[in-house]
Every structure is written in structure tokens, then in C-alpha cells.
Amino acid sequence: MEKNSNIPGKTTAIVAYLTIVGALIALSMNAEPQHKFARFHTRQAFGLHLIFIAFALLNAQWGNVYGFYGLYIFYIVLWFYGFIGALANKEQSVPVLGPYFQKWFTFIN
């Protein structure tokens, strides 16, 4: 028995994880036919990208090379977790920050 892999908003959810530009494109893709699945993953991806950029800028001013290693590992693990969730048709929030992203980014419809 095959699972239906063509759920509404799956493409938008996947695009959201492709850089911050992909998250902005996903915002416009989900503007008219609003899908709950796409909205969930767009919030998760947008939050991940913003947190990464903010901490990268902070770390660039601080100048600690080992901080960058930790930041990249943290980002890649959470990004991979969210991306695999989007591919597997699951609305699983990323650990630690996922519930906050759903609260903070309520402007994403």
C-alpha cells in the first residue's frame, strides 16, 4: 500500500528550507492557496534561517572560530531534522526552538 506523497503545500514546505530566499519565496507561494502544512514548515525554516544569520553576525563580531563550528553543527542538525520532516509529510517542530517559531512568526499565513 502506497502513501500519498502529494499532500497540499509539500512543495512550498520543501522550498522554505532552501536558504532565507527560499523561505521568502515560500511565503509568496503560500499566499493564495493557504496550506497548513506549508505554513508550519515555512515558520520553522524562516526561524532557523533568521537564528542562524543573527548568531553568525554576532559571532563574526566576537571572532571565535570554534563558535562558528558549533553554530554550523547546530544549524545543520536542526535544518536536516526539519527538512526530513517536510519530506516525510510530518508536522514535527525542530527541537528546542520549534514551538517558539510557531508563536513568534504568526504573521506567516
Average pLDDT across each block of 10 residues of the chain; the chain has 109 residues. List them in order. 67 91 88 86 93 90 82 92 92 89 86
What would the grid cell of residue 57 be? 553576525
Whether 47 and 79 have beta carbons less than 8 Å apart is answered as no
Chain centroid to CA 96: 13
Amino acid letter at 98?
G
Nearest to 7 by CA among 28, 38, 29, 33: 38
The residue whose grid cell reads 502513501 is 3
Q: Residue 64, Cβ neighbours under 10 Å: how many?
A: 11
Q: What distance in Å separates the CA atoms of residue 57 and residue 16, rounded to the nearest whole number?
A: 22
- Site of grid cell 559571532: 59
Domain ranges of the chain: 10-104
Cα 9 from Cα 41, distance rounded (Å): 9
CB 27 within 8 Å of CB 108: yes
Identity (one letter) of the amino acid at 42? T
